[in-house]
Structure 1
Amino acid sequence: MTARRVAITGIGVLAPGGIGTKNFWNLLSEGRTATRGITFFDPAQFRSRVAAEIDFDPQAHGLGPQEIRRMDRAAQLAVVAAREAVADSGLVLDELDPYGIGVTIGSAVGATTGLDTEYNVVSDGGRLDLVDHQYAVPHLYNFLVPSSFSAEVAWAVGAQGPAGVVSTGCTSGIDSVGHAVELIREGTVDVMIAGATDAPISPITMACFDAIKATTPRNDDPAHASRPFDGTRNGFVLGEGSAVFVLEELESARRRGAHIYAEIAGYASRCNAFHMTGLRPDGAEMAEAINVALAEARLNPDAVDYINAHGSGTKQNDRHETAAFKRSLGEHAYRVPVSSIKSMVGHSLGAIGSIEIAASALAIENNVVPPTANLHTPDPECDLDYVPLTAREWRTDAVLTVGSGFGGFQSAMVLVRPERSSS
């Protein structure tokens, strides 16, 4: 029996500097950065005081007062992105079997913003050891359970099929979409609303990353603080955002005349079982995930036209990832363009994998490779073609996008142009 194939027919994106898919792509293709000094709270006490924030007004994007009160910021971003994706797909979900529509949402840190805010309230600014729950928002339970994210999206679109949250750290956004693809392939559902969301820009998150010196202290130049693969890089810039997709069985999408951005042809995930935050320098586990994803897509390594890198901007990650590309693609790694959009939109933890899938699909759509912004000083240990500063017109029939997360998670996904897809 031939496995069912899966197409992306709708995209919704809320990212720093680019609310809405069109604005997001304009930011990337123009090589603009959306990193700035933190405005959500006073960051004076922190080592790193820069972030990639979204100027997001939930009411202006169609959320009512009760929804705003009930939902954490990350859930709000996911619901708005899901609505954009459904509208973009042209599907009228009310006309479909609701049990044939599922939801998967990825998130690394859940309702961090809401929990941070509510703890500040119930503890009276940290003054009380015994907190007073009577001051908490009535829907505090929703903040405690990340499953509320998928529930909110399911309610928003009327999906009554399988719904769940995938939380695998910074690979959550790839893994949630990969899980959705498998549900369509096996015939459990015909349509999945899948993606990821995170809104981690809060004091507690900044404190955690400060403690391990993972975020950049380049506070005097926020617009150029995120420097993946650059020899002067010194940590990532925390971001926020959401990207959600409508995924459909490919032939069904073709029959209804849907616009197909790309086919998701291969996916794999591995764990290095090595260290919570450390990475092996040879990139073996990421390379294995890449090899398996390519095999599932029935593509040779030299068929990859563009790599959308994890590219966090930490010295450890960028070297590890470079090694993984060389290990999996061989000499072709030196010929294929590689770039990191985190240089422009920061690192939104669990959400970034889905945001990077969106960038990969749009690269196929537009035959343009987004640049790695702020890449001025090549690192001799990162010696591939990282598309510095300026986007490049480039035929992109097959895109590899990868993610790396604390805990040792390594994930890879292959997107292909529909007409190039194998039967």
Structure 2
Amino acid sequence: MTGRRVAITGVEVLAPGGIGTKAFWDLLTEGRTATRLITFFDPTPFRSRVAAEIDFIAEDHGLSPQEVRRMDRAAQFAVVAAHGAVADSGVDLAQVDPYRLGVTVGTAVGATVGLDREYRVVSDGGRLQLVDQAYAVPHLYNYLVPSSFAAEVAWRVGAQGPTTVVSTGCTSGIDSVGYAADLIREGAVDIMVAGSTDAPISPITMACFDAIKATTPRCDDPGTASRPFDGTRNGFVIGEGAAVFVLEELDRAMARGANLYGEIAGYATRSNAYHMTGLRPDGVEMAEAIRVALQEARMNIDEIDYINAHGSGTRQNDRHETEAFKRSLGDHAYRTPVSSIKSMVGHSLGAIGSIEIAASILAMEHGVVPPTANLHTPDPHCDLDYVPVTARSHATDAVLTVGSGFGGFQSAMVLARPDRRKP
């Protein structure tokens, strides 16, 4: 590593409840929920019929009919978010050496919507065991390989440097940004367009999570169905979305007078090597990721002002990360506000980690901590300050954001104001 520091200079968010970073932040600070009964298809056969959908029309965001046909919904999200992030950053990519510009895109489930739709077409609604490829869209291969997401973004921004897809389940959104930051630190690139996207709301996804009873069956009141850290929670709500950032070497960003949302001060990822869906109750592997991220950031535990939790709304996860916060931060965990935005925008699998990074830097910028909506009946095993229901004004200079994913993946990132971190 060269010791170069990494700043976030541009951001764009596509999330349920409103498209664009401002709409996203307004939703969070108002404590509104965007969870509703599924409208994309008939959800009647499923146990869980609730989701956090985006009202998104690709053509309204500048995509041509050919691009819409070529790209899966998740790829469309990524391209639109990348365009917005670059515009927000103010960087003139035409003046950047394309070999010093890279792209990372995180995704957990790739082109789920496109593959699900096209299988129904080529199998004639499941009637044909031997499918008829003559009915497939010409770009079906793009749906098969998630690498097409990164390629689409790279084409859009003109990046000829490292271009990568990161797929580590529900930590993909943190890991893609962490990997991008590492490329800048090591001197491989100067600028990265990095983030994550997922559009998993489809019959096959709902069936998969129904099978393991991970999603909530609370369909009678979809607006309150996502209840992280609440004693009445009974599973998460599937969502969709994307968040993309422009990352730059800090000195370069400061020299051009860029707006600095924050610095990626530390990042680490670990695995529990334990179970595909199970979590150790002591949270030791997440605590280790937090410890290493803080060590890389050269920050003490009492410098963390806010924790943006994974907070999926399953009993196992909520208790696991509560123990991880206590193990890694000690008594300071009890003095630090913690919240889960999944209570409002659902769990968009591989995209949510980047969306939570966006919420974290906006919390620093505005001095406001988003709430945990729908938290009315605290779980006695989750005894930290989870900022229930209402957003809170809170001076925030450093944020810890974490992710936990099937397969045992545990990731942590420390974000800070550049002047807060020791040189």
TM-score, normalised via structure 1 length: 0.99
The CA distance in 1 between the partners of 2:18 and 2:307, in whole Å, is 22
The answer for the alignment partner of 2:107 in structure 1 is: 107
The CA distance in 1 between the partners of 2:95 and 2:58, in whole Å, is 28
The answer for the alignment partner of 2:61 in structure 1 is: 61
The answer for the alignment partner of 2:327 in structure 1 is: 327
Identity %: 80
Q: How has the CA–CA distance of structure 1 residues 48 and 186 changed in structure 2, closer, same or farther, with 3 Å as cutoff?
A: same
The CA distance in 2 between the partners of 1:421 and 1:259, in whole Å, is 17
The answer for the alignment partner of 2:185 in structure 1 is: 185
The answer for the alignment partner of 1:240 in structure 2 is: 240
The answer for the alignment partner of 1:378 in structure 2 is: 378
Name the amino acid aligned to 2:371. P
Q: Superposition RMSD on alpha carbons, in Å?
A: 0.6
The answer for the alignment partner of 1:146 in structure 2 is: 146
The answer for the alignment partner of 1:254 in structure 2 is: 254
1:421 matches 2:416: no
The CA distance in 1 between the partners of 2:240 and 2:163, in whole Å, is 23
The answer for the alignment partner of 1:224 in structure 2 is: 224
Give the alignment of 1:12-91 within 5 angstroms.
Answer: 12-91=12-91
The answer for the alignment partner of 1:367 in structure 2 is: 367
The CA distance in 2 between the partners of 1:408 and 1:315, in whole Å, is 16
The CA distance in 2 between the partners of 1:161 and 1:181, in whole Å, is 14
Deviations 1:308-330 (A, max 9, x none): 00000000000000000000000
Name the amino acid aligned to 1:163. T
SS at match of 2:91: coil
Contact 2:299 2:421 in 1 (8 A): no
Q: How many residues align?
A: 423
The answer for the alignment partner of 1:346 in structure 2 is: 346
The CA distance in 1 between the partners of 2:87 and 2:420, in whole Å, is 26
Give 5+ residue unaligned stretches, structure 2.
Answer: none
Name the amino acid aligned to 1:231. G
**C-alpha deviation, 1:133, in angstroms:** 0.4
**C-alpha deviation, 1:421, in angstroms:** 2.2
SS at match of 1:160: coil
Deviations 1:251-307 (A, max 9, x none): 100000000000000000000000000000000000000000001001111111000
Contact 2:270 2:289 in 1 (8 A): yes
Contact 1:18 1:25 in 2 (8 A): no
SS at match of 1:412: strand
Contact 1:305 1:398 in 2 (8 A): yes
**C-alpha deviation, 1:18, in angstroms:** 2.1
Moved over 2 A (4+): none
SS at match of 1:246: strand
The CA distance in 2 between the partners of 1:300 and 1:36, in whole Å, is 41
The answer for the alignment partner of 1:315 in structure 2 is: 315
The answer for the alignment partner of 1:202 in structure 2 is: 202
The answer for the alignment partner of 1:406 in structure 2 is: 406
Name the amino acid aligned to 1:127. R
Contact 2:298 2:421 in 1 (8 A): no
The answer for the alignment partner of 1:174 in structure 2 is: 174
SS at match of 1:400: strand
The answer for the alignment partner of 2:355 in structure 1 is: 355
The CA distance in 1 between the partners of 2:136 and 2:391, in whole Å, is 47
Name the amino acid aligned to 2:22. K
SS at match of 2:400: strand
The CA distance in 1 between the partners of 2:332 and 2:64, in whole Å, is 51
Contact 1:100 1:188 in 2 (8 A): yes
SS at match of 2:266: strand
SS at match of 1:351: helix
Give 5+ residue unaligned stretches, structure 1.
Answer: none
